[in-house]
């Protein structure tokens, strides 16, 4: 068997990589598995995937020769299964840049034990072509493969395997699409088919030499396998412009100068006369007169020098700008490819593919936003392309993340209209179909009903936190006082201090039990409900094994306790659900725009949603309890968001924005 690998101009296209791999048995035990041949090409390649084809080849080769107890066809199936699993894993991690860009062929050739020939097993994905040359016949054997549509989840790239028998003198050609198109365009396949298999490599070289100029315009790979009993060494050749250089020599360039100097008889320079040496006749050097140039004024010389350097600087600047433009165009093309892949995921309309599309689009938006910052000095048409792509990506992200921009939100109540009361609200709670406003900086409570009618509940007390329990509103005052509002009557209860220096940052109630968050000590304190609006001793609720530094100041309870959290990367925000003191799940907030600083989280046992307030980006976010986006509302009028409250059915949201209360129905 003899193998020829032709690689045509590997560096012609920066975003294209290809390679061929030939594996032979390393010992007598592996001989029954035969030889393994692989050809791969990857288009629109990203920098992190420059060795992608090598990884695939190593996985297939390692699994194929792993066990000699298996039949070769079974070994090939197992190696392809291993490859599919590898591709699925990297796809789940977000690397799907190879989807739609990968072409790969796998062939195994095993000496047949019953007849004088070989058994062929092969499969492929993508637009590679596999031809069988037998005599002067050319057979497109990969037409026998029935290619199924790639299933996106779970990922399945390699599927069917085709088997056949080959005889001595047969030739297999595996070529990438650009090489195949070149052969068909130049009518070379029939000419190649006439080459005797004994001199197949030499014959191919002669054909390529005739087409040297056309070959330098293509980029791809051709693997030729000549089936012969003779163990002849194969050959790998890289066909590049360096193979066909134009004749060039320094002698030709400087020949006029050489001719000039030949005409001049240079004098012989003698050393000074020394004692004991023979005296030689002295030869005088001919007088050489140098050409004299007119002396230029000094100012003119300076002006000419200035013009020269200005022109030089201009040309250097133009060169650098053109170079930068090419680099930015490549970046823009890569981003566009990523956007196209994301849109292809959206066609399938399934949660996993929508998640992948969202991640790709978010990455694209970050990259295009960086590009926008550095293209102001580049040509206007290129700037237009960049801004157009950014608008396209942001629009798609807004739709995918269900972001609704409200130009004029509905005004429910304005505290400016009751400015004579001197009340400035800071926080709010919805209870018994009414809104209650309070502040840690001023006394009294303020109540507004559904008809936006307001009244003051006078009390010589400032309140920090509030919760709702069984038609009763509970207001908390630091350090440990609880005020109970029931049927218009106020009463108080003093909670036991959990430890010294405690400081409660948030408060919620579930079935009468009280839960307080102390972010400084990283504790959640529970007060069990006894009866008649009395509570027992404080308990440290978090399991000691789960205790960590809480990076949140907000909690909410629906049977589980939900907390906001951040890791060491400030850009990554999580929602953590705890139950019986232990962490149950951690949901990554993969929403757009990327969360910066969420101030409050809220839910209840009767609501299916989680509500998040983010003043920094003037929005409120509604998620289901699996972390899937339900709706986002954003408005430029939400420029001083302090707090929010939700109606019992969860369909109405009230937003406290400075002295105004806005209302959203969804």
Q: What is the 3-state secondary structure (H, E, C) of 211-234?
A: CHHHHCCCCEEEEEEECCCCCCCC
Coil vs helix vs strand at 607 = coil
**Assigned token pair, 596:** 């910066």
Q: From the CB of residue 105, how many other CB atoms can be counted at a distance below 10 Å?
A: 23
CA distance linking residue 12 with residue 140, whole number of Å: 28
* Per-residue exposure over 550-576, b if at least 16 CB sit within 10 Å of its own CB, e if not: bbbebbbbbebbbbbbeeeeeeebbbb
Least confident of 35-44, 62-71, 543-552: 543-552
> Is 503 among the domain residues?
yes
Q: Where are the alpha helices (DSSP H) in 2-137?
A: 52-64, 72-92
Do 492 and 571 reside in the same domain of the chain? Answer: yes
Which CATH number does the domain housing residue 425 bear?
Answer: 2.120.10.30
Domain membership of residue 164 as a residue range: 2-243
Do 184 and 91 reside in the same domain of the chain? Answer: yes
Do 347 and 460 reside in the same domain of the chain? Answer: no
pLDDT of residue 187: 87
CA distance linking residue 60 with residue 79, whole number of Å: 5
Least confident of 149-163, 219-233, 332-346: 149-163
Q: pTM (2 decimals)?
A: 0.55
Do 353 and 465 reside in the same domain of the chain? Answer: no
pLDDT of residue 149: 37
> Is 77 among the domain residues?
yes
Q: From the CB of residue 659, how many other CB atoms can be counted at a distance below 10 Å?
A: 17
Taking Cα atoms as reference points, which of 521, 490, 522, 495 lies closest to residue 509? 495
Taking the CA atoms of the chain, what radius of gyration do you get in angstroms?
A: 39
Do 233 and 372 reside in the same domain of the chain? Answer: no
Peptide bond into 593 cis (omega under 30): yes
What does the CA dihedral 196, 201, 207, 208 come to, rounded to 10 degrees?
160
Taking Cα atoms as reference points, which of 573, 651, 593, 564 lies closest to residue 403? 593
Give the model's confidence band at 113: pLDDT under 50 very low, under 70 low, under 90 confident, else very high. Answer: low
Least confident of 159-163, 247-251, 410-414, 574-578: 247-251
Averaged pLDDT of the chain: 84
C-alpha neighbours within 13 Å on the C-beta side of residue 454: 19
* Per-residue exposure over 468-505, b if at least 16 CB sit within 10 Å of its own CB, e if not: bbeebbbbbbeebebbebeeeeeeeeebeebeeebebb
Between 457 and 163, the more confident residue is: 457
pLDDT of residue 447: 96
> Is 149 among the domain residues?
yes
* % of the chain with per-residue pLDDT over 90: 47
> Is 103 among the domain residues?
yes
Do 92 and 206 reside in the same domain of the chain? Answer: yes
Average pLDDT for residues 156-166, to the nearest whole number?
73
pLDDT of residue 508: 96
Give the model's confidence band at 513: pLDDT under 50 very low, under 70 low, under 90 confident, else very high. Answer: very high
For residue 151, pLDDT over 50 is answered with no
- Name the most confidently modeled range: 58-72, 238-252, 315-329: 58-72
Decide: 385 and 375 in contact? Cβ < 8 Å: no
CA distance linking residue 126 with residue 101, whole number of Å: 8
For residue 444, pLDDT over 80 is answered with yes
593-615 confidence digits (pLDDT tens): 989 889 999 999 999 999 999 99
Average pLDDT for residues 26-40, to the nearest whole number?
86
Q: Considering 227, 243, 259, which residue would you say is the last residue of a domain?
A: 243
> Is 288 among the domain residues?
no
351-399 confidence digits (pLDDT tens): 777 888 898 999 999 999 989 988 888 888 888 999 999 999 999 999 9
pLDDT of residue 254: 43
> Is 264 among the domain residues?
no
Average pLDDT for residues 180-195, to the nearest whole number?
89
Do 18 and 128 reside in the same domain of the chain? Answer: yes
Q: Considering 400, 421, 448, which residue would you say is the last residue of a domain?
A: 400
- Going from the C-alpha of 39 to that of each of 106, 235, 559, 639, the distances in angstroms are 7, 15, 57, 59
Tell me, rounded to whole angstroms, the distance of Cα 356 from its chain centroid.
Answer: 9
For residue 232, pLDDT over 60 is answered with no
629-647 confidence digits (pLDDT tens): 999 999 999 999 999 999 9
Average pLDDT for residues 278-306, to the nearest whole number?
59
Element (H, E) at 492: strand 489-494
> Is 106 among the domain residues?
yes
* Helix (H), strand (E), coil (C) string for 516-582: EEECCCCEEEEECECCCCCECCCEECCCCCCCCCCCCCCEEECCCEEEEEECCCCCCEEEEEEECCE
Do 424 and 572 reside in the same domain of the chain? Answer: yes
Residues 6+ apart with CB under 8 A from 297: none
The residue whose two tokens read 């992200």 is: 397
Do 104 and 169 reside in the same domain of the chain? Answer: yes
303: phi then psi, degrees, rounded to nearest 5: -65, -45
Which CATH number does the domain housing residue 22 bear?
Answer: 3.60.40.10
Do 445 and 528 reside in the same domain of the chain? Answer: yes
**Assigned token pair, 442:** 């001023």
Tally the residues of the chain.
Answer: 666
CB-count burial class (<10 Å; 0-12, 13-18, 19+) for 434: middle
pLDDT of residue 52: 92
The residue whose two tokens read 């400015």 is: 419
What's the structural domain count of the chain?
3
Do 516 and 634 reside in the same domain of the chain? Answer: yes
Between 539 and 299, the more confident residue is: 539
305-335 confidence digits (pLDDT tens): 778 777 767 766 666 778 888 888 899 999 9
> Is 286 among the domain residues?
no
Do 67 and 21 reside in the same domain of the chain? Answer: yes
Q: Considering 380, 400, 420, which residue would you say is the last residue of a domain?
A: 400
Coil vs helix vs strand at 126 = coil
């Amino acid at each position: 068997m003899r193998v020829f690998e032709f690689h045509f101009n590997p560096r012609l296209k920066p975003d294209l990589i290809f390679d061929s791999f030939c594996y032979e048995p390393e010992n007598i035990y592996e001989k029954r598995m035969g030889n393994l041949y692989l050809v791969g090409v990857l288009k629109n390649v990203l920098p992190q995937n420059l060795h992608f084809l090598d990884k695939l080849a190593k996985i297939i080769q390692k699994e194929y020769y792993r066990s000699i107890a298996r039949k070769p066809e079974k070994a090939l199936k197992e190696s392809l299964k291993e490859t599919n699993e590898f591709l699925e894993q990297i796809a789940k991690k977000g690397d799907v840049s190879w989807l739609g860009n990968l072409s790969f062929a796998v062939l195994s050739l095993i000496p047949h034990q019953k007849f004088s020939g070989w058994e062929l097993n092969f499969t492929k994905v993508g637009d590679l072509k596999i031809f069988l040359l037998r005599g002067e016949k050319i057979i497109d054997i990969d037409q026998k493969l029935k290619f199924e549509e790639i299933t996106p989840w779970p990922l399945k790239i390699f599927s069917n395997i085709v088997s056949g028998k080959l005889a001595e003198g047969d030739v297999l050609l595996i070529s990438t699409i650009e090489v195949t198109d070149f052969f068909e365009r130049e009518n070379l396949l029939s000419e190649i088919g006439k080459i005797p298999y004994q001199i197949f490599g030499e014959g191919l070289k002669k054909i390529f030499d005739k087409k040297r100029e056309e070959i330098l315009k293509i980029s791809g790979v051709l693997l030729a396998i000549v089936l012969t009993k003779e163990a002849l060494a194969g050959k790998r050749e890289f066909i590049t412009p360096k193979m066909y250089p134009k004749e060039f020599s320094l002698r030709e360039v400087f020949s006029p100068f050489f001719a000039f100097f030949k005409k001049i008889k240079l004098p012989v320079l003698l050393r000074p006369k020394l004692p004991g040496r023979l005296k030689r006749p002295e030869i005088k050097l001919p007088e050489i007169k140098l050409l004299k140039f007119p002396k230029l004024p000094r100012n003119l010389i300076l002006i000419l020098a200035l013009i020269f350097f200005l022109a030089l600087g201009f040309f250097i600047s133009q060169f650098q700008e053109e170079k930068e433009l090419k680099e930015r165009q490549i970046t823009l093309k890569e981003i566009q490819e990523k956007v196209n892949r994301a849109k292809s995921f959206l066609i399938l309309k399934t949660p996993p593919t929508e998640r992948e599309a969202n991640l790709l689009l978010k990455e694209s938006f970050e990259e295009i936003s960086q590009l926008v910052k550095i293209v102001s000095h580049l040509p206007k048409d290129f700037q237009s392309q960049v801004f157009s792509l950014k608008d396209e990506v942001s629009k798609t992200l807004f739709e995918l993340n269900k972001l609704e921009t409200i130009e004029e939100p509905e005004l429910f109540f304005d505290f400016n209209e009751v400015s004579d009361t001197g009340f400035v609200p800071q926080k709010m709670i919805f209870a018994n179909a009414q809104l209650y406003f309070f502040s840690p900086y001023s006394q009294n409570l303020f109540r507004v009903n559904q008809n936006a009618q307001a009244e003051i509940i006078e009390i010589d007390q400032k309140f920090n936190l509030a919760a709702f329990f069984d038609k009763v509103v509970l207001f908390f005052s630091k350090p440990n006082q609880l005020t109970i509002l029931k049927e218009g009557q106020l009463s108080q209860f003093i909670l036991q201090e959990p430890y010294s220096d405690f400081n409660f940052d948030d408060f919620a109630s579930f079935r009468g039990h009280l839960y307080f968050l102390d972010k400084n000590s990283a504790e959640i304190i529970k007060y069990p409900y006894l009866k008649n609006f009395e509570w027992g001793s404080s308990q440290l609720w978090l399991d000691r094994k789960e205790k960590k530094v809480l990076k949140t100041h907000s909690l909410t309870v629906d049977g589980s306790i939900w907390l906001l959290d951040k890791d060491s990367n400030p850009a990554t925000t999580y929602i953590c659900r705890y139950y019986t003191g232990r962490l149950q799940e951690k949901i990554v907030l993969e929403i757009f725009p990327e969360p910066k600083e969420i101030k409050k989280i809220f839910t209840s046992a009767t609501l299916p949603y989680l509500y998040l307030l983010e003043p920094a980006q003037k929005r409120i976010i509604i998620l289901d309890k699996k972390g899937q986006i339900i709706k986002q509302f954003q408005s430029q009028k939400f420029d001083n968001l302090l707090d929010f409250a939700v109606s019992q059915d969860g369909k109405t949201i009230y937003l406290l924005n400075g002295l105004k209360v806005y209302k959203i129905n969804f």
